[in-house]
A and B are shown apart, each in its own frame.
Chain A
Amino acid sequence: MNTNLKISNVTKIYPGCVANDDVSLEFNSGKIYALLGENGAGKSTLVKILSGVVIPDEGKIYLNKNILKLNSPSDAKKNDIGMVFQHFNLFETLSVFENLIIDSDEQRENLKEKIDTIMKKYNFSVDLDVPVLNLSAGQKQKVEIIRCLIRNPKVLIMDEPTSVLTEQETSELFLSLKKFSEEGILIIYITHKLKEVMQLCDEVAVMRRGKLVSVSQINNENIESLANKMVGQNLKTIKKTKEKTSSDQLIKITNLNYTSEDPFETNLVDINFSLNRGECLGIAGISGNGQSELFQVLSGEIISNKNSIEFNKNFIGDLNPQERREYLMAFSPEDRLEQAAIPQMAIFENVALNNFKSSNFFNNGLINESKIKEHSKKIISEFNVNTDNIDLKSQFLSGGNLQKLIIGRELITSPDLLICFNPTWGLDVGAINYIHETLIKINEQNKSIILISTDTDELLKLSDKITVIHRGKLSKIMNAEDVTSEKLGILMGGGN
Chain B
Amino acid sequence: MIVDINFVGLIIASIMASAVPLILASCGELITERSGVLNLGVEGMMIIGAISGFALMTVTGSLIIAVFGAMLAGVLISTIFAFLTQTLITNHVATGLALTIFGIGISAMIGKNFVGIPGKEFPVLFEGLKDTIPLLSPILFGHSIVFYFAFTLPFMTSYFLKKTKIGLIVRAVGDSPESASNQGINVRLVRYACILYGGAMCGLAGAYLSMIYTPQWIENMTGGRGWIALALVVFSTWNPIKILIGAMIFGGLTIIQFHMQAIGVRIPVQFLTALPYIVTIIVLVVISRDSRKIRLSTPSSLGKSFHKDN
A interface residues (Cβ-Cβ under 8 A, vs B): 51, 53-55, 72-74, 77, 85, 88-94, 98, 101-103, 131, 133, 261-264
Q: Which residues of B contact A51 (CB under 8 A)?
A: 182
Inter-subunit contact B296/A131 (CB<8 Å): yes
Indicate if the CB atoms of B168 and A94 lie closer than 8 Å.
Answer: yes
Instruction: Enumerate chain A residues within 8 angstroms of B90, measured Cβ to Cβ.
Output: none
B296 contacts across to A, CB distance below 8 A = 93, 131, 133
* A133-B295, A263-B291 known; A91 vs B171 contact (CB < 8 Å): yes
Neighbouring B residues of A103 by C-beta, 8 Å: 183-185
**Complex Cα–Cα for A94 and B296 (A):** 8
Interface segment among B24-32, B173-181, B195-203, B253-261: the answer is: B173-181
* A263 / chain B contacts, CB cutoff of 8 Å: 291-292, 295
What 1/0 mask marks residues of chain B from 299 to 310 whose CB sits below 8 Å from any chain A CB? 010000000001
- Residues in A with CB closer than 8 Å to B179 are 88-91
Given contacts A54-B310, A91-B176, A262-B291, 17 further A-B contacts (CB under 8 A): A89-B179, A90-B179, A91-B171, A93-B175, A93-B300, A94-B171, A94-B172, A94-B175, A98-B168, A98-B172, A101-B165, A101-B168, A102-B169, A102-B172, A133-B295, A133-B296, A264-B295
Kindly list chain B residues whose C-beta atoms are within 8 Å of the C-beta of A73.
Answer: 181-184
The total of Cβ contacts below 8 Å across the A-B interface reads: 63
Q: Which residues of B contact A92 (CB under 8 A)?
A: 175-176, 300
A338 → B minimal CB distance (Å) = 15
**Could you say which of A73, A93, A263, A264 has the most chain B C-beta atoms within 10 Å of its C-beta?**
A93
A73 and B187 CA atoms in complex are apart in Å by 13
Chain B contacts for A90, CB-based, 8 A: 176, 179
Chain B hits for A74, CB < 8 A = 184
- On chain A, the residues within 8 Å of B165 by CB distance are 101-102
User: Which residue in chain B gives the minimum CB-CB distance to A78?
Assistant: B184
A102 to B172, CA, bound (A): 8
Do residues B172 and A89 form an inter-chain contact, with CB atoms below 8 A? no
A381 to B138, CA, bound (A): 82
Question: Counting CB contacts under 8 A, is B79 at the interface?
Answer: no
Top 7 A-B residue pairs of the complex, sorted by shortest distance between their CB atoms: A74-B184, A89-B179, A73-B184, A91-B175, A91-B172, A103-B183, A89-B182
A103 to B168, CA, bound (A): 10
Task: Report the minimal beta-carbon distance from B184 to chain A, rounded to whole angstroms.
Answer: 3
Tell me, rounded to whole Å, the shortest Cβ–Cβ distance linking B293 to chain A. 10
Q: Determine the distance from Cα of A88 to Cα of B178 in the docked complex, in whole angstroms.
A: 10
**A102 and B165 alpha carbons, distance in the complex (Å):** 7
CA distance A90 to B296 in the complex (A): 14
- 16 A-B pairs within 8 Å (CB atoms) are namely A51-B182, A54-B310, A73-B183, A89-B179, A89-B182, A89-B183, A91-B171, A91-B172, A94-B171, A98-B168, A98-B171, A102-B165, A103-B183, A133-B296, A261-B291, A264-B295
**Chain A residues whose CB sits within 8 angstroms of the CB of B144 once the complex forms:** none
Question: Min CB distance, B215 to chain A, in Å?
Answer: 43
- Please, how many residues of chain B have a CB less than 8 angstroms from a CB on the other chain? 23
Roughly how many angstroms separate A72 CA and B189 CA in the complex, as a whole number? 15
A77 & B182 in contact (Cβ 8 Å cutoff):
no
A102 to B183 Cα, complex, angstroms: 9
Considering the complex, give the chain B residue whose CB is closest to the CB of A77.
B184
CA distance A74 to B171 in the complex (A): 19
User: What residues of B have a CB within 8 angstroms of the CB of A94 in the complex?
Assistant: 168, 171-172, 175
Query: Which of B168, B182, B292, B295: most chain A Cβ within 10 A?
Result: B182
Which residues of B sit under 8 angstroms from A98, Cβ to Cβ?
A: 168, 171-172
Question: How close is B164's CB to chain A, nearest CB, in angstroms?
Answer: 11
Which of B169, B180, B184, B297 contacts A93 (CB under 8 A)?
A: B297
In the bound complex, residues from chain B placing their C-beta under 8 Å from that of A72 are 184
Chain A nearest CB, measured from B212 CB (Å): 37
- Of A77, A85, A102, A261, chain B has the most CB atoms within 10 Å of the CB of A102
**Residues of A contacting B178 with CB < 8 Å?**
89
Which residues of chain B come closer than 8 Å to A77, judged between CB atoms?
184
When the two chains form their complex, are residues B175 and A53 in contact, meaning their CB atoms are under 8 A apart?
A: no
Complex Cα–Cα for A55 and B296 (A) = 34
When chains A and B are docked, how far (Å) is the Cα of A303 from the Cα of B291? 22
Contacts of B169 in A (CB 8 A): 102
Q: How far is the CA of A101 from the CA of B164 in the complex (A)?
A: 11
Q: List A contacts of B181 (CB < 8 A).
A: 73
Residues of B within 8 A of A261 (CB): 291
CB distance from B300 to the nearest CB of A (A): 7
- Measured in the bound complex, the distance between the Cα atoms of B181 and A51 in whole Å is 12
Q: Nearest chain A CB to B173's CB is how many angstroms away?
A: 9
A53 to B310, CA, bound (A): 8
CB distance from A269 to the nearest CB of B (A): 20
Cβ–Cβ < 8 Å partners of B168 in chain A: 94, 98, 101-102
Measured CB to CB, the closest approach of chain B to A353, in angstroms, equals: 26
| Cα separation A91 to B183 with both chains bound (whole Å) | 11
Q: Which residue of B lies closest to A132 (CB)?
A: B175
Query: Which B residue sits closest to A71, measured CB to CB?
Result: B310
Q: Within the complex, what minimum Cβ distance (angstroms) separates A101 from chain B?
A: 7
B291 proximity list for chain A (CB < 8 A): 261-263
Given contacts A72-B184, A73-B181, A101-B165, contact A93 B310 (CB under 8 A): no
Bound: A93/B142 CA distance, A: 42
Q: Which residue of A lies closest to B294 (CB)?
A: A263
Within the complex, the shortest CB–CB distance from A89 to chain B, in Å, comes to 4
Nearest-Cβ distance from residue B306 to partner chain A, whole angstroms: 14
CB distance from A132 to the nearest CB of B (A): 9
Question: Measured between alpha carbons, how far is A262 from B176 in the docked complex, in Å?
Answer: 20
Point out the residues of chain A lying under 8 angstroms from B300, CB to CB.
92-93
Q: How far is the CA of A101 from the CA of B166 in the complex (A)?
A: 11
Q: A92-B300, A93-B295 are in contact. Are A53 and B182 (CB under 8 A)?
A: yes
Residues of B within 8 A of A54 (CB): 310
Question: What residue in chain A is nearest B309 (Cβ atoms)?
Answer: A54
Give the chain A neighbours of B184 by CB distance below 8 A.
72-74, 77, 103
Chain A residues positioned under 8 Å from B171 (CB to CB): 91, 93-94, 98
Residue of B nearest to A261 (CB): B291
- In the complex, A258 Cα to B60 Cα: how many Å? 67
Smallest CB separation, A135 vs chain B (Å): 14
- B310–A55 touching, CB < 8 Å: yes
| Docked complex Cα distance between A51 and B178 (Å) | 14
A51 to B183, CA, bound (A): 10
CB-defined contacts of B183 to chain A, threshold 8 Å: 73, 89, 102-103
**Chain A residue at minimal CB-CB distance from B295:** A264
Nearest A-chain residue to B179, judged by Cβ: A89
Q: In whole angstroms, how far apart are the Cα atoms of A263 and B289 in the complex?
A: 12
Interface string of B87-131 (1 = CB under 8 A from A): 000000000000000000000000000000000000000000000
**What is the CA–CA distance of A92 and B165 in the complex, to the nearest angstrom?**
17
